């Protein structure tokens, strides 16, 4: 073995199998800390608090029917539902009115007309702000219009966990609905990379007030905590208002939790590659407040620690053909690297039903993720965000937002 090869070998062991073993172990431990929802949930109190479910919708059409059908199937006994049509140009407003008319007063339908968005506000933040002003619940549950609650006890379980454990806010990570090839290939990987990059399980550590994440697809908040934090008015111009609201509440001493909840709700996020690029670039750049450091680190990790396994396997084969005694070491290290990487990727792809086998296509999925990261880094630098047909300049408001 040439003198340089031993050094190269041990460097590879460090950035290959050891790196993936560390990431996989941290992911497994983090998920353990986020799988407590069922264990902590218990029976509801005799007089459960009133909960208002708020559902904003913009140009959702018939998809919002699926969401509201699942919301109205909840078995929670003290519930009201408020829908907010956010300047839709399709028949979303009519559908929401029809559902409200057939609900025997359980659903109220609000409308924000074209031109009704105040300066400085983003649409979803404003819609939720308007809905919250009409809410009568002691708790507010924000549910995105593309979410389907999979069990009738989804609200009962989450509210009982909050009451029994003294939580002020609880959001869940929903399962990802995938239909097309690229949805299966890309969405679980982008979601998993986001969770690892941000160490989202630290949300559940009350001593880490600087670390809080939330999923606005299903976000349950005590009304008094929401008001103290300033509600959606505080995050009115934030593209990831859910994360910033969670950070705000936790910085004020609230008990904020983020749990695995794929058995309770599911979401079909982005159906096409352009939607995935825009959607995940928005999430990546927004949750990092336009600071590209973590995104660059993740891109380098993929390049160095991810794709290097294939070069190492090829080199092991070359050394084998040369009858080199170093071949055995390279085979062991590269196969261990591949094994640890695949175990980690299988955990990541388990977030979507039927997607685990797509972990085997990591070279393709990883390349697309790299392209999305480059796209997000550009957004971090320019602040120019395109979302739902609107282009605007994003600010991180460093003087206002908690660090």
Could you tell me the CA-to-CA distances from 176 to 53, 261, 349 in Å, in that order? 21, 11, 10
In a domain? residue 139: yes
User: What's the number of domains the chain is made of?
Assistant: 2
Same domain? For 146 and 105 the reply is yes
pLDDT for res 209:
84
In a domain? residue 245: yes
Residues 6+ apart with CB under 8 A from 317: none
**CB-based contact 240:283 (threshold 8 Å):** yes
Q: What is the domain-level CATH number for residue 92?
A: 3.90.550.10
Q: How confident is the model at residue 399 (pLDDT cuts 50, 70, 90)?
A: very low
pLDDT for res 60:
87
Q: Which domain holds residue 283?
A: 1-32+180-199+272-386
CA distance 75 to 85: 25
Own/partner pairs, 111-119, CB within 8 angstroms, 24+ separation: 111/84, 111/85, 112/84, 112/85, 112/86, 112/87, 113/87, 114/87, 114/89, 116/87, 117/87
pLDDT for res 131:
96
For residue range 112-141, list pLDDT tens digits in order. 988 888 998 999 999 999 999 999 999 999
pLDDT of 184 > 60? The answer is: yes
* CB neighbourhood size of 150 (10 A): 15
pLDDT for res 387:
61
In a domain? residue 393: no
For residue range 227-286, list pLDDT tens digits in order. 999 999 999 999 899 999 999 999 999 999 999 999 999 998 888 999 999 999 999 999
**CB-based contact 248:229 (threshold 8 Å):** yes
Q: How confident is the model at residue 398 (pLDDT cuts 50, 70, 90)?
A: very low
pLDDT of 2 > 60? The answer is: no
CA distance 258 to 204: 6
Could you tell me the CA-to-CA distances from 280 to 25, 133, 175, 240 in Å, in that order? 25, 30, 16, 11
In a domain? residue 391: no
In a domain? residue 104: yes
For all residues of the chain together, what is the average pLDDT?
91
CA distance 41 to 24: 28
For residue range 30-66, list pLDDT tens digits in order. 988 898 886 766 788 889 999 999 999 998 887 899 9
For residue range 86-95, list pLDDT tens digits in order. 999 899 999 9
Q: How confident is the model at residue 4 (pLDDT cuts 50, 70, 90)?
A: confident
Sign of CA dihedral 87, 91, 94, 99: negative
Same domain? For 77 and 10 the reply is no
CA distance 20 to 312: 15
**CB-based contact 369:302 (threshold 8 Å):** yes
* CB neighbourhood size of 118 (10 A): 8
| Mean pLDDT of the region 344-367 | 92
pLDDT for res 114:
85
pLDDT for res 223:
98
Same domain? For 113 and 77 the reply is yes
Per-residue b or e along 54-91, where b marks 16 or more CB atoms closer than 10 Å to that residue's CB: bbbbbbbeebbbbbbebbbebebeebbbbbbbbbbeee
Same domain? For 66 and 77 the reply is yes
Instruction: Considering only CA atoms, give the Rg of the chain.
Output: 23
pLDDT for res 403:
40
> DSSP assignment, residue 18?
I
pLDDT of 402 > 70? The answer is: no
In a domain? residue 353: yes
Same domain? For 236 and 346 the reply is no
Same domain? For 188 and 48 the reply is no
pLDDT of 390 > 70? The answer is: no
Residues linked to residue 385 through DSSP beta bridges, in sequence order: 392
Give pTM, 2 decimals: 0.90
pLDDT for res 326:
92
In a domain? residue 123: yes
Stretch among 40-49, 157-166, 335-344, 354-363 having the lowest mean pLDDT: 40-49
Residues 6+ apart with CB under 8 A from 349: 188, 189, 192, 355, 356, 357, 358, 359
Single out the residue of 350, 196, 220 nearest to residue 287, CA to CA: 196
pLDDT for res 376:
94
Same domain? For 163 and 299 the reply is no
Same domain? For 148 and 89 the reply is yes
pLDDT for res 269:
84
Report the phi/psi class of residue 247: left, alpha or beta, with left for phi > 0 and alpha for psi in -120 to 50. Answer: alpha
In a domain? residue 394: no
Same domain? For 53 and 74 the reply is yes
pLDDT of 400 > 50? The answer is: no
Same domain? For 230 and 379 the reply is no
CA distance 298 to 287: 14
Same domain? For 226 and 354 the reply is no
**CB-based contact 379:388 (threshold 8 Å):** no
**CB-based contact 135:226 (threshold 8 Å):** no
Same domain? For 339 and 260 the reply is no
Which of 226, 242, 269 finishes a domain? 269
| Mean pLDDT of the region 178-204 | 94
3-state SS, residue 236? coil
| Mean pLDDT of the region 349-361 | 90
pLDDT of 28 > 60? The answer is: yes
């Amino acid at each position: 073995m040439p003198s340089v090869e031993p050094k190269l070998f041990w460097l590879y062991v460090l950035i290959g199998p050891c790196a993936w073993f560390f990431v996989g172990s941290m992911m497994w431990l983090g998920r353990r800390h986020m799988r407590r929802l069922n264990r902590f949930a218990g029976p509801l109190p005799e007089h459960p608090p009133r909960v208002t479910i708020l559902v904003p919708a913009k140009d959702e059409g018939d998809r919002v029917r699926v969401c509201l059908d699942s919301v109205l199937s909840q078995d929670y006994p003290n519930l009201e539902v408020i829908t907010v049509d956010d300047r839709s140009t399709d028949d979303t407003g009519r559908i929401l009115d029809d559902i409200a008319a057939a609900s025997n007063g359980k659903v109220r339908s609000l409308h924000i007309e074209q031109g009704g968005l105040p300066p400085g506000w983003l649409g979803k933040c404003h819609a939720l702000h308007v809905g919250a002003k009409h809410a009568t619940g002691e708790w507010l549950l924000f549910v995105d219009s593309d979410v389907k609650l999979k069990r009738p006890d989804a609200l009962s379980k989450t509210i009982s966990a909050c009451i029994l454990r003294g939580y002020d806010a609880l959001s869940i990570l929903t399962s990802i609905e995938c239909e097309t090839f690229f949805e299966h290939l890309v969405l679980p990987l982008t979601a998993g990379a986001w969770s690892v990059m941000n160490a989202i399980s630290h949300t559940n550590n009350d001593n880490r007030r600087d670390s809080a994440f939330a999923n606005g697809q299903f976000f349950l908040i005590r009304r008094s905590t929401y008001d103290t934090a300033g509600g959606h008015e505080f995050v009115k111009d934030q593209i990831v208002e859910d994360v910033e609201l969670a950070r705000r509440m936790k910085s004020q001493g609230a008990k904020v939790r983020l749990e695995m909840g794929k058995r309770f709700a599911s979401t079909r996020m982005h159906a096409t590659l352009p939607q995935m690029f825009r959607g995940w670039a928005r999430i990546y750049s927004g949750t990092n407040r336009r600071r590209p450091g973590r995104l660059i680190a993740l891109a380098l990790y993929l390049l160095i620690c991810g794709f290097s396994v294939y070069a190492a396997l090829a080199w092991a084969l070359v050394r084998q053909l040369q009858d080199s005694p170093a071949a055995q070491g390279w085979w062991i290290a590269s196969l261990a690297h591949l094994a640890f990487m695949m175990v980690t990727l299988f955990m990541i792809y388990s977030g979507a039903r039927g997607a685990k086998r797509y972990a085997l296509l990591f070279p393709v999925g990883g390349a697309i993720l790299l392209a999305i990261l480059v796209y997000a880094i550009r957004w971090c630098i320019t602040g120019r965000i395109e979302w739902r047909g609107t282009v605007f300049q994003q600010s991180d408001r460093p003087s206002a937002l908690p660090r």
